Amino acid sequence: MEKTLVLVKPDAFKAGHTGDIIKIYEGAGLRLLAVRMMKMSKEVAAKHYEEHIGRPYYEELESFMTSGPILAMVLAGDNAIAKVRELNGKTDPKEAAEGTIRKLYAASKGENAVHASDSPESAAREIHIFFNETEIFD
């Protein structure tokens, strides 16, 4: 059973789409193993997005991700990483397939409703930024 990290970003959280997003994941057979509502600090943003630090868009990304509450989740299932990324859709909601989370709930390419790990290595690293092992119920 593969695990992945998902973040419901401030735009989707503020718009009240968190429950709908969770329902999509669960409806696709993914199990919710951990959940935390929080406001991301600049320190957590720097750890989570470390590969983006120094790029022209980093300050805007950090500002957005620290602008309001987020919901961090660990989801699990067969091929969870690929399944979540398919359910999320392309980063730009204009290019996302119909019925995907970003097509339904993202405002723009920058405010795109959700984050998901892109590989098993990223998932292992990202999950432990937000959760310790005692908070993951598998």
**Domain CATH code at residue 35:** 3.30.70.141
pLDDT at 137: 97
pLDDT at 125: 97
Cα gap 102→87, rounded to integer Å: 9
pLDDT at 75: 98
Tens of pLDDT along 74-114?
Answer: 999 999 999 999 999 999 999 999 999 999 999 999 999 99
CA nearest to 131, candidates 32, 64, 21, 61: 32
Tens of pLDDT along 29-72?
Answer: 999 999 999 999 999 999 999 999 999 999 999 999 999 999 99
pLDDT at 5: 98
Residue 26 domain boundaries = 2-135
pLDDT at 11: 97
58: enclosing H helix or E strand? helix 58-65
pLDDT at 18: 98
131, two tokens: 């959760």
- Residues 17, 48, 52, 115: which is the catalytic one? 115
What is the Cβ-side half-sphere exposure of residue 110, based on CA atoms within 13 angstroms? Answer: 9
Based on the residue annotation, tell me whether 128 is a catalytic residue of this protein: no
What amino acid occupies position 36?
A: R
pLDDT at 133: 95
pLDDT at 74: 98
CA nearest to 75, candidates 39, 14, 31: 31
The rounded percent of the chain whose pLDDT value lies above 70 is 100
Q: Name the domain count of the chain.
A: 1
